[in-house]
Amino acid sequence: MERLRYVARAGSGDTALIVGETVEAIARLRPGPAELVTLCRQLVQRNPTCGPLWWLGSRLLSGDVEDLWDLVDEVDEDPTADHLVDAVPDGSRVLTIGCPDIASRALARRGDIEVLAVDAGAGAAAFMRALDRADVPVRSVDVTALPSAAARADLVVVEVAACSTAVGLAAVGNALLSVVAAATAAPRVVVTGVGTRLPDAYVDTIVARSIDPDAPWSADVERIDLTAFDADRDLVVGPAGAGPVGAETLRPDCPFVPELIPPSPA
């Protein structure tokens, strides 16, 4: 129980670690069906913006997995970064914002590109260090210069923490990046790792719990309208590969379990 409380408070930085720690704790605890519902509710209630925790809870409560550790393997072996490597054109200039985890691992393998890293609240520092270590050319861009950078980019990366077929939730700065990029010729790539594509009701719940409608600027994530993306130009890159933005490439990769949504006592 203490480990689960730790996971619930840990934040959504290292998805593989969070999912692995959660599964290990549940495997040791061996909760009954009612206890498992309560545990899963508490996890997503305390850490609502971590899409893979919703995915994990949904998979566990739906009973569509025979071995808990198969879920850990799915996250650990997520091929999304590999597909992003392939989706980036040779010699291109790629625009990012903040510290996108999957994009960091993918772009570090492309020494033939240049990355323009917009520093949103100093969030790009770790991202830039990772690219520097991999000898990938990277330039820091102040957020005030985002329009100029977008006009010179060949590809714009928007990495989501969770999404439905219509709404993406991403770190602060990505909504601005998306809107600015829409006015340029550069295609946008929506990066959706394992566990981030969720049913609409889950994403609606995350928005309600994480974004104050009276002060949305104070949230850790922001809402992106994916219906405004262009299926003829923009892409989704996920575990299954790359494809045009649309209902098929953004369809949920877990079932909807209504029991996961109601709040649970702490």
- Which CATH number covers residue 220? 3.40.50.10470
51-62 vs 200-210: helix axis angle to the nearest 10? 130
- Tell me, yes or no, whether 263 lies in a domain: no
Is 41 in the same domain as 127? no
The answer to whether residues 62 and 189 belong to one domain is no
- Give the per-residue pLDDT at 215: 95
Chosen domain end from 23, 43, 77:
77
Give residue 1's pLDDT band: very low, low, confident or very high (50, 70, 90): low
pTM, to two decimals: 0.92
| 124 part of a folded domain | yes
**What pLDDT, on a 0 to 100 scale, did the predictor assign at position 122?**
57
Whether 264 maps to a domain, the answer reads no
pLDDT of residue 266: 58
Any idea of the CA torsion for 93, 99, 102, 103, to the nearest 10 degrees?
Answer: 0
Of 5-14, 138-147, 224-233, the poorest mean pLDDT is in 5-14
Model pLDDT for residues 159-217, shown as the tens digit of each residue: 999 999 999 999 999 999 999 999 999 999 999 999 999 999 999 999 999 999 999 98
Q: Would you say residue 94 has pLDDT above 90?
A: yes
**What percent of the chain has pLDDT above 90?**
77
Q: Which of 22, 47, 77 is the last residue of a domain?
A: 77
- pLDDT surpasses 70 at 11: no
Domain-located, residue 217: yes
What are the pLDDT digits (tens) for 217-242?
A: 899 899 999 999 999 999 999 999 99
What Å distances lie between residue 91 and 3, 153, 197, 241, CA to CA? 45, 11, 30, 21
Rounded Cα gap, residues 252 and 115, in angstroms: 30
Higher-confidence position of 94 and 121: 94
In-domain check, residue 249? no
Largest CA distance in the chain: 56
Q: Are residue 128 and residue 163 in the same domain, yes or no? A: yes
Same domain, 147 and 52: no
Beta-bridge partner residues of 141: 118
When pLDDT is averaged across residues 4-28 and rounded to a whole number, the result is: 72
Classify residue 251: in a domain, yes or no. no
Q: Does 23 fall in a domain?
A: yes
- Do 207 and 238 fall within a single domain? yes
What is the average per-residue pLDDT within 80-102?
96
Whether 218 is in a domain gets the answer yes
Q: Are residues 73 and 88 in the same domain?
A: no
pLDDT band (50, 70, 90) for residue 76: very high
Segments forming the whole domain that contains residue 54 = 2-77
Shared domain for 90 and 207, answered yes or no, is yes
> What is the reported pLDDT for 8?
53
Q: Per the structure block, which two tokens stand in for 36?
A: 């498992």
Quote the CA–CA distance of 197 and 58 in Å, as a whole number: 12
Of 20, 48, 77, which residue constitutes the final position of a domain? 77
Q: What is the mean pLDDT of the chain?
A: 91
Residue 139 burial (CB count, 10 A): 12
Residues 84, 73, single domain; the answer is no
* The pLDDT of residue 23: 87
- How many independent structural domains does the chain possess? 2
* Domain shared by 132 and 188, yes or no: yes
Same domain for 45 and 91?
A: no
Mean local confidence (pLDDT), 6-11: 55
55 and 140, same domain (yes or no): no
Structure tokens that stand for 195 in this block: 């566990």
Given a cut of 70, is residue 147 above it in pLDDT?
A: yes
| Each residue's pLDDT tens digit, 34-73 | 999 999 999 899 889 999 999 999 999 998 777 888 999 9
Residue with tokens 């091929």: 79
Mean pLDDT over residues 92-121, rounded?
94
**Shared domain check, 71 and 84:** no
* Confidence (pLDDT) at 13: 58
The strand ranges marked E within 92-165 are 93-97, 114-119, 138-142, 155-159, 162-163
